[in-house]
Amino acid sequence: MKGDELTLEKALTRGPVIPVLVIDRVDDAVPLARALLAGGVQVLEVTLRTPAALDVIRTLVREVPEALVAAGTVTTPEQWEAVAHAGAHLAVSPGLTPRLLSALHSGAPTPLLPGVATASELMTAMDAGLNRFKFFPAQQAGGVGMLKAFHGPFADAVFCPTGGITFDTASNFLALPNVACVGGSWLAPTSAVRAGDWGRITELARDTLSLGGTLTA
């Protein structure tokens, strides 16, 4: 298995849930990561939705080396290069554009988990040699029913559905044979992060382990 494929496989099989993190303050990054790790969550997706995101990624890679750090909301080749330079282990995109495909073919700076929402997008990505995907936005794009429909014609495709998934609905996705894990924001509520309530976040992380998952390393 190639390095990029191995990194993606590790990211998708280290636990049933990848927390989708929107971090405003760099000072919150390390205690938040350690709280999640204490609860058994090993893969952290830091979204590029705040000005602090790249500094957060650098800090986590340096200070919490036991975590696998993903950079989320990567939408351009320039962002892909930037997160790779910051040390992110992989990039996660909400979609897959011709420019991202071109960058993929010309030498990807780090592994990419691209987002798909339709059969045509999935076919385009699979034609490029990809078989691990983010299904986004999961609930709005058809949810469990859409993923069940994908499984027949695209049996080799494996998904991390993200978008609108909660603790109560995650198990419905994880029961599917083509779902390795789900992405969720409920593990790090804004109120808990702002209050520095790391114990609450560790408890939420521990709760996710009970969700299991159908695909394992």
Residue recorded with tokens 């986590």: 60
Amino acid at 109: P
Active site residue 134: yes
Choose the catalytic residue: 5, 78, 134, 203. 134
Task: Give the SS3 label for residue 163.
Answer: coil
Distance between CA 154 and CA 26 in Å, rounded?
40
Q: Which one of the listed residues 45, 66, 81, 203 is annotated catalytic?
A: 45
Question: How many CB atoms sit inside 10 A of residue 51's CB?
Answer: 8
* Rounded Cα distance, 152 and 54, in Å: 39
Q: Closest Cα partner for 70 from 19, 27, 2?
A: 19
Who's near 65: CB < 8 A, 6+ residues apart?
Answer: none
Active site residues: 45, 134
